Amino acid sequence: MRSLLATVLLIGCLVAGTAIGQEKQFVVPEQGFVPDAATAIKIAEAVLIPIYGDVAMTSQRPLAASLVGDIWYVSGTLPKPPPGAVVVGGVAHVEIAKYDGRILRVAHGQ
């Protein structure tokens, strides 16, 4: 009985030691999680499509992204109107933190 208890305790200690030794090493890219405009646009689309719909967002392509400080500003593009016509409405805007990819703001112009 004692040898069974000793074996169980030994296995428990080994398992606990292995779990502690396998601590995860988290990685933060040097350029942040949103290093370029293409990544910012993909994130913006992933946020905007569920809110405004695929049809509305398709009509606002291409999306444009610009980096100001550590914030990506991503905006849709108004479609070109036919000659003599006027486009009414606005485009979607998303602000994304470059370092960690947080969505800071989402809006749609009127």
pLDDT at residue 32, rounded to an integer: 96
Place of tokens 């030691």: 17
Instruction: Using DSSP, state whether 107 is helix, strand or coil.
Output: strand
Cβ neighbours around 49 below 10 Å, total: 15
74 — pLDDT class (breaks 50, 70, 90) = very high
In degrees rounded to 5, what are phi and psi of residue 30? Answer: -60, -35
- Report pLDDT digits (tens) over 79-93: 888 888 887 779 999
Q: How far apart are CA 65 and CA 47, in angstroms?
A: 14
Across residues 12-17, what is the average pLDDT?
58
pLDDT at residue 4, rounded to an integer: 59
Strand order across the beta sheet in which 92-97 lies = 64-68, 71-75, 92-97, 103-108
Across residues 13-34, what is the average pLDDT?
75
- Report pLDDT digits (tens) over 34-67: 999 999 999 999 999 999 999 989 999 999 999 9
For residue 110, is pLDDT > 80? no
Single pTM value for the model: 0.74
For residue 103, is pLDDT > 90? yes
pLDDT at residue 82, rounded to an integer: 85
Nearest-10 Cα torsion for 34, 35, 36, 37:
20
Pair type for strands 71-75 and 92-97: antiparallel
Q: Which amino acid is at 23?
A: E
